[in-house]
Amino acid sequence: MVASDRQSLRLVSDEDSSKRRQILEGARKVFMDLGFDGASMGEIARAAGVSKGTLYVYFADKCRLFEAIVEEESLQQGEIAFNFDPARDVPTALAEFGDAYIAMICRPGGGSAIRTVMAIAERMPDVGRRYYERVLEKTIGRLAAYLEAHVAMGELIMDDCQLAASQFMLMCQASLFLPFIFQAAPAPSPERIKTVIDSAVRMFLLAYAVKG
């Protein structure tokens, strides 16, 4: 293949990727505003600034489009870096993780994504399962591995690190996540998050830290 042909293919590929991104952004807004059932391919095409014909070139129906959005959201959240270096002391690592975790799930727009996945998971179980595995289960596993390291160091006592990791994550959500996800309250302030996370860390260490 000559250089001009390779350049032409690269330009087509870039244009294709850009158009797909444009469609996904428009669709995300429609799904977040109207929910899965309220969204139509026509509405999505208008929001994305493309024709319905172009929309169907990229996605066969709104189920495939919704799956692509959830897949992207899962990958983005799954790639968020939490510092679980075993060398870090437990109180600091837990506090910083809790703060970053709540900031992730309670960020503006994030609640709409989670609500939409929850609403459609019964009808599209594979979508819900992939989201859970790539975001929540992956995070639980990484925190559990950190806790296991500190059990081995003799700093923590727990029989089930996966359970303890899940417990800590739920304690971090207390009074923050449910009001946010059900739109009973706005995204929590950094000050409120810190108060809740500090309490969660104290409770966790009272239950699991080796008493000196």
Q: Which amino acid is at 147?
A: L
Give the pLDDT score at 69: 81
Question: Which residue type is seen at 29?
Answer: K
All structural domains of the chain: 3-59 (1.10.10.60), 74-208 (1.10.357.10)
pTM to 2 decimals?
0.77
Which of the pair, 19 or 161, is modelled with greater confidence? 161
Which tens digit of pLDDT belongs to each residue from 68-89? 887 777 666 656 778 999 999 9
State the CB neighbour count (10 A cutoff) for residue 189. Answer: 9
Of 6-20, 46-60, 150-164, which range is least confident? 6-20
- The residue behind tokens 């809790």 is 98
pLDDT given for residue 49 in this prediction: 94
List the structure tokens of 28.
């995300």
Give dist(CA 140, CA 130) in Å, integer: 15
Confidence of residue 157 (pLDDT cuts 50, 70, 90): very high
Beta-carbon contacts of 170 under 8 Å, excluding residues fewer than 6 positions away, are none
Q: Could you give the CA distance from residue 130 to residue 72 in angstroms, rounded to a whole number?
A: 11
Task: Of 47, 31, 52, 30, give the one whose Cα is nearest residue 124.
Answer: 31
How confident is the model at residue 8, as a pLDDT? Answer: 46
Tell me which DSSP letter residue 80 carries. -
* pLDDT, tens digit, 9 for 90 and up, residues 31-44: 878 888 889 999 99
